[in-house]
Amino acid sequence: MYGRYTQELGVYAKEEAARLRDGGVRDGSGLRRNTSVRSRTADLLEYEKDPCAKCQVCASRCQKFLISRVGEDWIFLILLGLLMALVSWVMDYAIAFCQEAQKWMHGGLDSNMLLQYIAWVSYPVVLITFSAGFTQILAPQAVGSGIPEMKTILRGVVLKEYLTFKTFVAKVIGLTCALGSGMPLGKEGPFVHVASLCAALLSKFMAAVFGGIYMNELRNTEMLSAACAVGVGCCFAAPIGGVLFSIEVTSTFFAVRNYWRGFFAATFSAFVFRLLTVSNQEEETITALFKTRFRLDFPFDLQELPAFAILGIACGFGGALFVYLNRHIVECMRKQKTINKFLLRKRLVYPALVTLLVSTLTFPPGFGQFMAGQLTQHESLVALFDNRTWCRQGVAEEFDYISHHHAWKHPQVNIFITLILFIVMKFWMSAVATTMPVPCGAFMPVFLIGAAFGRLVGEVMATMFPDGIHGDVYPIVPGGYAVVGAAALSGAVTHTVSTAVIVFELTGQISHILPVMIAVILANAVAQALQPSLYDSIIRIKKLPYLPELGMGHHEKYNIRVEDIMVRDVRFITLNSSYRDLQEMLLTGHLKTLALVECRDSMILLGSIERLQLQSLLSLQLSRQRRLEYLRQLAQDNGAHDPLPSLTSDSTPSSPCAHVHLNSPTNTSARQVVRFLVSTQYLKPFFFFFLTLVSIPLQIAEWEDQQLDQLVDFKNCKIDPAPFQLVEQTSLHKTHTIFSLLGLGHAYVTSMGRLVGVVSLKELRKAIEGSVTVTGVKVRPPLASFRDSGNTTSVSEVTELHKLCMRHRGLSLNGSWHIAYCQNSEPLCE
Amino acid sequence: MYGRYTQELGVYAKEEAARLRDGGVRDGSGLRRNTSVRSRTADLLEYEKDPCAKCQVCASRCQKFLISRVGEDWIFLILLGLLMALVSWVMDYAIAFCQEAQKWMHGGLDSNMLLQYIAWVSYPVVLITFSAGFTQILAPQAVGSGIPEMKTILRGVVLKEYLTFKTFVAKVIGLTCALGSGMPLGKEGPFVHVASLCAALLSKFMAAVFGGIYMNELRNTEMLSAACAVGVGCCFAAPIGGVLFSIEVTSTFFAVRNYWRGFFAATFSAFVFRLLTVSNQEEETITALFKTRFRLDFPFDLQELPAFAILGIACGFGGALFVYLNRHIVECMRKQKTINKFLLRKRLVYPALVTLLVSTLTFPPGFGQFMAGQLTQHESLVALFDNRTWCRQGVAEEFDYISHHHAWKHPQVNIFITLILFIVMKFWMSAVATTMPVPCGAFMPVFLIGAAFGRLVGEVMATMFPDGIHGDVYPIVPGGYAVVGAAALSGAVTHTVSTAVIVFELTGQISHILPVMIAVILANAVAQALQPSLYDSIIRIKKLPYLPELGMGHHEKYNIRVEDIMVRDVRFITLNSSYRDLQEMLLTGHLKTLALVECRDSMILLGSIERLQLQSLLSLQLSRQRRLEYLRQLAQDNGAHDPLPSLTSDSTPSSPCAHVHLNSPTNTSARQVVRFLVSTQYLKPFFFFFLTLVSIPLQIAEWEDQQLDQLVDFKNCKIDPAPFQLVEQTSLHKTHTIFSLLGLGHAYVTSMGRLVGVVSLKELRKAIEGSVTVTGVKVRPPLASFRDSGNTTSVSEVTELHKLCMRHRGLSLNGSWHIAYCQNSEPLCE
């Protein structure tokens, strides 16, 4: 009987091994806790392929394709430009169609006010709700502007699902619906995201078809930054402004060698985009999107410059207020728990309510008549940039009511009132509307508000100086003020100067360059002093892993040094670490890389190892193959005798380990059961069958324990032999620069080769955002150059070095070997 | 007698010490070789003040001023803008005056052709010769454009004398004279240099007056990059183009946070510059410098785009040819040894000859009549940008001869011939003229040639399609072609895209944005494929320490890794180094920093030490104070007995060293003389007096030897504890990026903490310029991201690590101390 059982045991062992191979021993429910170490270990081994093998394949392909790299860059950029221009044009067409449909409904129902109102309101509500629902279901990542996310991605952080085909579809369709509804939403921010999506998908497609260069990660980043330029460029048909805006908005340090890529792609895209308009017989030739016709010979008087400056400063305050309002709305709703709960459950209620409110207020026969409610953004902008004066000496002029000017002239209400109402209403409406969970940007609404504000100032100036400042020769052009205001307010909200270039390209005139530049710079100065940019504000709201900029005014930052913010309790492994240490390290920490030091005493940093590598080391040690081998061995050994003795007497070959694994908490309880069973000798006959079943997994657990107690063999492990190192004295400013420049995620802090701490993005962000307060720290000159870091040896370092010297000397002078160096370098027994 | 001598010896010792303190023992000529070690050591000690002490002062001042930093930035930028605008305006005024004077002379002497010719020719020859001579005498650094130098300085390399007041004066006066001469030279490049000089001097001035923040080195770099923008901005009154151009031309990686500085300063400067013109009643209001009046509604036909594209491509070839020609002229003259010798002796002959040639050819009644020779650059440009067509159906139109158009119309010669002659002549003239040793740039001449070429293409188009492409409605505007050509050719020569923006700002019209962008991008593509940019070409000619860009087409660069280019024979010091090793190291090498490793065997990199620090360590060891102390001690010891015994019997306290210092080559011969004297006992009485005189310096040399044999005490030495490290497998591309980003001068190559090599800018430059050829090296994916460097452990590293592991294990498992680790760590005896 024994014989039969033991023979069956061999079969069982094989089955068990197969079972282990397939899915661990989870079905053996009674033994689950015993093998939990194994299954937890298995959970850690979620690595896919060897990244290096992939690398090798890639390298050989690269060799083949490298020669034609530049050519492929051109082709890629042309394709990207073409695609984006098409997307932009089709979207614009669809949006215009949607808006026409609303107008047609509104016009056709003018006999019945109620019907008219219902049509006017329900149309956008349906569109926005559909947009919100569609986005929510398909890809929630498509919500919002996308610029904050792109900023984070270009910073080097991988945001999952932000660059997939699903997101692309959701963003394009959601955006079309949202803009078609006529809400005060923008196309520009989302378009940056759409272009990036396009570039990422195109890269993937090209990589699948042609392979080679398209697989390179850094190349993809370069293409993404070009895509951002394309996004802005083909949205406004403003290639130069697009490139500059995308640089300002997404980069911290810009590689000038990528400049031409952006220019080329954005120009091509803008060209095709405008060409499509021409080919569609809409226009005669390629000109600007919002062409103005200001006079060239005397665009503005020098005495008007103070007015432009004041306009700029006011726009700066306005921009800061907009950012504050936008953030405040989101934060308010988050804080109100009941509202928050309700909105989380019924996600479509909020956008529907907001749309209802906004469209009710803009209903043309209602309140909308006082704020040009019937005009679309495009129509409003064309009217605002008009080169004629709307009112002279306070009385509205009677010029020909072409295009959309009549919407601004209410028979009873002054043009000033209309403009003020328009500005105030649109201001809060835009701030609210951009918080809706649909794909939308805030640039265009802000641009429009700025234009209206500029027009208001211009009309006031025209009223004050009806004959121009220098007599009747050159009257004031309020349209110029509108251009300046638009650039200034959008510049203030986004903290960019390149909106100036965008307005020149949008209007096709550069004659107002000086007032625009003055206003934009002043607006930026004011807004930057008061609030973060809209995109940084959204990054904070969304808690994206982005490294904030060092503010210009926050000079206490210069006082902080790395030693003030670093984590001193670094997770490290030594050359003497056992696999158990490794396992513990992997189970308790969640760091992506671990430091490798020489020994616990010297702490000399040898390199860093990726978590993945360590996991594979561990899995290799406890691999199925070795496990199977062990089981086979076991089966052979147990071919003739009872498997129990090794269990009852704990006489495994690795006796020192046995003590350890009995004390290990993970498999204690099952073991206690077995012990109880064994100690109560008289029960033995009854439970024998059960025990036989149990013993194999137990032996495997034992074997695992033995394996874990071995020292780690780093031979097959990829080690980064020179991870980035900082010194304790490095200033926060310099650390920030280095992290931004190199896109680091973490850096080790060393002192004379010894690992003393680690700084990650998290600590740095905390420090910058001001949660670290340092008192009594010496002020260091801000960002001393990279080269003179040699002058920063502290007292502690000198002592350290001295100790090191003394050790060396004391021994080498005595002619003896170097004994005392690693005195405490016992193997780790944590 | 002895007593008296020995008493005098004490006095003598004091005197000797004083003499040593003042200037070494150079006057004791017979003993010169004996003390040469000392004097050589003294030569090494050329350090001024303790940089750290300066740092501390700076830090405390910083604390005080840091709070108002942003405010000071604004003030600084305003001052800079104001100054530069004034300089630019005054210079323009002076140049215009010079040119008027020439015209007046030329006009007044029209009765006598010979006199007229002499006046026409001698005037520029005198001006150019003066400019060349003045620059040569005052500051030869002011010669040329200055952009290559600024590029190098912003890269982090310190170029001596390039930012001094002398250079400023030389540059401004030299440039005014050079431009006043009417030669085809430009103002734009030198203006970048002038603005940088202005910023540097202003910084110094502010630092002297206010201290604090103005002393910070990095801040100065930030201000320099803003100054470059100001330079271009106030030269063309083109703030946006100025900022972009300066970024493209001077930076590799641009910090976006500096963007606003450039914009602000350039705008302010351009504003003041143009304001001065208005205040001078020259113009009514602030408008563009070369205002055009192209029609807005239909600037160009879409069918014209191929013509613009061809124009762009032709300009690309032209630009490459210009750069080639310019470099070839310089290289030719360098190669011709007799010419070179002659020119080096008579430095003013070359510019005088060139000027004579050029001005003879442009003499208006002579050959100049066929190439509009009498016009200045400004007048030519205004004419070329004119919105009227010069010829219709091949026949010159008879429009009103306002301004300078008549210069282009020769009664017998076709306008096309005039234009072609103008282009060809100006092309080589500009290429030759810019090689003259005067402050001058090439941007403006190239811009002018481009405009002429564009006008030529435009006129040809106008002749081919006299009624416009679509009938008589919209005729072709040759002025638009001129604008496109100017942007394209200057873009091709400088390898920049931002010339597009500069032409928009210069002409005040942006209507031709699409053709300009297309032409500029195509021109860049062609030119970049054929030649380096003009500035890079000059950098190569001048052999400036700049890191060249990695060319787009040179993909063999990706195959090179750091191990292929690094210097394996690194100069290092160990913790066991003696002062003698240090001295040897300092005498033989010229590196600015030396690596500090643990010991010769382990080679673990602990940090790097600056040469200055080591020099001060050495000087401390052999300091005057210690020397004096020793002499005082000696004098006390010798108070009663003969100083000779210590010499004759070599019984100094440090007997083991005595053997060494007798063998040291530096003081052998004098010592041999003494030995001879001593051994020939019978001569003793005769030479006693002489010996007494000799013995003190000898003893000092002995003392020095003892001191040098001591081990270095690094306690008071500032060590950079984390110098930048690379891995052997780092690709050239990545190394280039890191060096560019961080402005590194050198980086150590380590492998698991062990120092294996060093890479400096020199090696990198060599590798990029192609003098390193690698065969059989595996292709690595170009610039794999910074994060996946973990996947690059090579076989050798694994072996290394394995060895390290084995050592640790073998010992720690035996329970004994860590003995074998540094087996060969004897003190260094090189």
The ranges assigned to domains in chain A are 68-280, 304-390+404-542, 557-620+714-769
The secondary element (H helix, E strand) that includes residue B227 is helix B217-236
Cα–Cα distance, B328 to B428 (Å, whole number) = 12
**Taking a contact as any Cβ pair under 8 Å apart, which residues of chain A between 793 and 822 contact chain B?**
793, 797-798, 801-802, 804-805, 808-809, 812-813, 817-822
Q: Say yes or no: domain B304-390+404-542 is CATH 1.10.3080.10.
A: yes
What angle in degrees, to the nearest 10, is found between the helix axes of B478-494 and B239-250?
Answer: 30
Which residue type does A435 have? Answer: T
Which residue type does B733 have? Answer: H
Cβ count within 10 A of residue A6: 18
The reported pLDDT for the residue numbered B670 is: 53
Work out the average pLDDT over B706-735.
76
pLDDT at B374 over 60: yes
Least confident stretch, A670-674, A763-767, B43-47: B43-47
The reported pLDDT for the residue numbered A828 is: 30
> Are the Cβ atoms of B743 and A514 closer than 8 angstroms?
no
Which residue type does A618 have? Answer: L
- Beta B253-255 vs B391-392: how paired, if at all? unpaired
- Beta B593-597 vs B725-726: how paired, if at all? unpaired
Tell whether B552 lies on the interface with A, counting CB pairs under 8 A. yes
Alpha-carbon distance B615 to nearest alpha carbon in chain A (angstroms): 14
Helix, strand, or coil (residue B291) = coil
Work out the average pLDDT over B702-728.
77
Place of tokens 């390199």: A607
Residue B767 near residue B558 (C-beta atoms within 8 A): no
Please compute, for residue B389, the number of CA atoms within 13 A of its CA located in the half-sphere on the CB side: 23
Question: What is the pLDDT confidence band of residue B648, given thresholds at 50, 70 and 90?
Answer: very low
Alpha-carbon distance A252 to nearest alpha carbon in chain B (angstroms): 5
Cα–Cα distance, A650 to A664 (Å, whole number) = 15
Cα–Cα distance, A732 to A735 (Å, whole number) = 5
Which of the four CATH numbers 1.20.1730.10, 1.10.569.10, 1.10.3720.10, 1.10.3080.10 does domain A68-280 have? 1.10.3080.10
Closest CA in chain B for residue A610: B790
Work out the average pLDDT over A581-590.
79
Across the beta sheet with B754-760, the strand order is B725-726, B746-751, B754-760
The secondary element (H helix, E strand) that includes residue A573 is strand A572-574
The reported pLDDT for the residue numbered A816 is: 32
> Are the Cβ atoms of A524 and B804 closer than 8 angstroms?
no
Which residue type does A7 have? Answer: Q
Helix, strand, or coil (residue B255) = strand
Residue A232 near residue A246 (C-beta atoms within 8 A): yes
Percent of chain B exceeding pLDDT 90 equals 17
How far, CA to CA in Å, does B230 sit from each of B265, B273, B598? 6, 11, 50
Chain A residues whose beta carbon lies within 8 Å of the beta carbon of residue B713: 805
> Are the Cβ atoms of B791 and A55 closer than 8 angstroms?
yes
Q: Which residues have CB under 8 Å from B131's CB, separation 6+?
A: B173, B174, B175, B177, B178, B181, B351, B438, B439
Return the residue in A285, A297, A301, A308 with the most chain B beta carbons within 10 A, the one to mutate for interface testing.
Answer: A285
The reported pLDDT for the residue numbered B689 is: 60
Work out the average pLDDT over B113-128.
89
Closest listed residue to residue B486, CA positions, set B510, B450, B529:
B450
SS (H, E, C) B598-652: CCCCCCEEEEEEEHHHHHHHHHHHCCHHHHHHHHHHHHHHCCCCCCCHHHHCCCC
Say which of B253, B719, B802 has its CB closest to residue A255.
B253
Tell whether A518 lies on the interface with B, counting CB pairs under 8 A. yes
Closest listed residue to residue A700, CA positions, set A622, A586, A620:
A622
How far, CA to CA in Å, does B252 sit from each of A304, B151, B281? 39, 9, 42
Tell whether B248 lies on the interface with A, counting CB pairs under 8 A. yes
Question: What is the pLDDT confidence band of residue A694, given thresholds at 50, 70 and 90?
Answer: low
Chain B residues whose beta carbon lies within 8 Å of the beta carbon of residue A256: 247-248, 251-254
Across the beta sheet with A605-610, the strand order is A572-574, A593-597, A605-610, A719-720
Chain A residues whose beta carbon lies within 8 Å of the beta carbon of residue B823: 817-818
**Taking a contact as any Cβ pair under 8 Å apart, which residues of chain B between 148 and 177 contact chain A?**
156
Percent of chain A exceeding pLDDT 70 equals 71
Highest mean pLDDT among A753-757, A803-807, B657-661: A753-757
Place of tokens 């015993």: A34
Tell whether B760 lies on the interface with A, counting CB pairs under 8 A. no
A290 vs B128, residue with greater confidence = B128
Say which of A270, A605, A782 has its CB closest to residue B753.
A605
> Are the Cβ atoms of B722 and A725 closer than 8 angstroms?
yes
Question: What is the pLDDT confidence band of residue A44, given thresholds at 50, 70 and 90?
Answer: very low
> Are the Cβ atoms of A818 and B813 closer than 8 angstroms?
no
Cα–Cα distance, A179 to A192 (Å, whole number) = 16
Tell whether A573 lies on the interface with B, counting CB pairs under 8 A. no
Tell whether A211 lies on the interface with B, counting CB pairs under 8 A. no
- Each residue's pLDDT tens digit, A70-118: 566 788 889 999 999 999 999 988 998 988 888 888 878 878 888 888 8
Beta bridge mates, B392: B395
**Averaged pLDDT score across all residues of chain A:** 73
How far, CA to CA in Å, does B773 sit from each of A63, A706, B558, B769? 16, 52, 12, 10
> Are the Cβ atoms of A253 and B251 closer than 8 angstroms?
no
Q: How many residues does chain B have?
A: 830
Q: Which fold has domain B557-620+714-769?
A: CBS-domain (3.10.580)
Number of H helices, E strands in chain B: 32, 10
The reported pLDDT for the residue numbered B793 is: 37
Least confident stretch, A314-318, B113-117, B515-519: B113-117
The reported pLDDT for the residue numbered A630 is: 80
State the maximum Cα–Cα separation within chain B, in Å, rounded to a whole number. 122
How far, CA to CA in Å, does A55 sit from each of A52, A216, A273, B648? 5, 10, 39, 73
Q: Which long-range contacts (CB under 8 A, 24 or more apart) does A403-411 make?
A: A403/A379, A404/A372, A404/A375, A404/A379, A404/A380, A407/A372, A407/A374, A407/A375, A407/A379, A407/A383, A408/A372, A408/A383, A410/A369, A410/A370
B130 vs B57, residue with greater confidence = B130
SS (H, E, C) B558-600: HHCEHHHHCECCCCEEECCCEHHHHHHHHHHCCCCEEEEECCC
The reported pLDDT for the residue numbered B51 is: 36
Work out the average pLDDT over B437-454.
92
Residue B604 near residue B597 (C-beta atoms within 8 A): yes
Say which of B722, B745, B753 has its CB closest to residue A727.
B722
pLDDT at B69 over 60: no
Least confident stretch, A21-30, A354-363, B67-76: A21-30
The reported pLDDT for the residue numbered B558 is: 55
Cα–Cα distance, B236 to B213 (Å, whole number) = 31
ipTM over 0.85: no
> Are the Cβ atoms of A753 and B606 closer than 8 angstroms?
yes
Work out the average pLDDT over B262-290.
82
The reported pLDDT for the residue numbered B646 is: 42
The secondary element (H helix, E strand) that includes residue A755 is strand A754-760
> Are the Cβ atoms of A260 and B786 closer than 8 angstroms?
no
Say which of B156, B613, B817 has its CB closest to residue A819.
B817
Tokens of B20: 């040593």
The reported pLDDT for the residue numbered B41 is: 33
Chain A residues whose beta carbon lies within 8 Å of the beta carbon of residue B257: 252, 549-550
Chain B residues whose beta carbon lies within 8 Å of the beta carbon of residue A611: none
**Taking a contact as any Cβ pair under 8 Å apart, which residues of chain B between 719 and 748 contact chain A?**
719-722, 725-727, 738, 741-745
Domain A304-390+404-542 and domain A557-620+714-769, same fold? Reply is no
pLDDT at B151 over 70: yes
- Beta B719-720 vs B605-610: how paired, if at all? antiparallel
Cα–Cα distance, A324 to B493 (Å, whole number) = 47
Cβ count within 10 A of residue A279: 12
Tell whether B628 lies on the interface with A, counting CB pairs under 8 A. no
Cα–Cα distance, A756 to A45 (Å, whole number) = 29
Tell whether B379 lies on the interface with A, counting CB pairs under 8 A. no
Closest CA in chain B for residue A284: B298
Work out the average pLDDT over B7-29.
41
Percent of chain B exceeding pLDDT 70 equals 71
Question: What is the pLDDT confidence band of residue B690, given thresholds at 50, 70 and 90?
Answer: low
The reported pLDDT for the residue numbered A670 is: 53
Q: How many CB pairs under 8 A join A and B?
A: 405
Say which of A286, A509, A513 has its CB closest to residue B505.
A513
The reported pLDDT for the residue numbered A127 is: 92
Tokens of A335: 């804080």
Tokens of B583: 């001295």
- Each residue's pLDDT tens digit, B806-821: 544 443 333 333 323 3
Chain A residues whose beta carbon lies within 8 Å of the beta carbon of residue B789: 720, 722
How far, CA to CA in Å, does A148 sit from each of A352, A793, B117, B371? 25, 39, 67, 56
- Beta B719-720 vs B725-726: how paired, if at all? unpaired
pTM of the model: 0.73
**Taking a contact as any Cβ pair under 8 Å apart, which residues of chain B between 761 and 780 contact chain A?**
778-780
Residue B446 near residue B430 (C-beta atoms within 8 A): yes
The reported pLDDT for the residue numbered A448 is: 93
Say which of A782, A817, A822 has its CB closest to residue B823.
A817
Cα–Cα distance, B150 to B158 (Å, whole number) = 10
Tell whether A714 lies on the interface with B, counting CB pairs under 8 A. yes
**Taking a contact as any Cβ pair under 8 Å apart, which residues of chain A between 606 and 625 contact chain B?**
606-610, 613
Q: How many residues does chain A have?
A: 830
> Are the Cβ atoms of B509 and A513 closer than 8 angstroms?
no
B588 vs B189, residue with greater confidence = B189
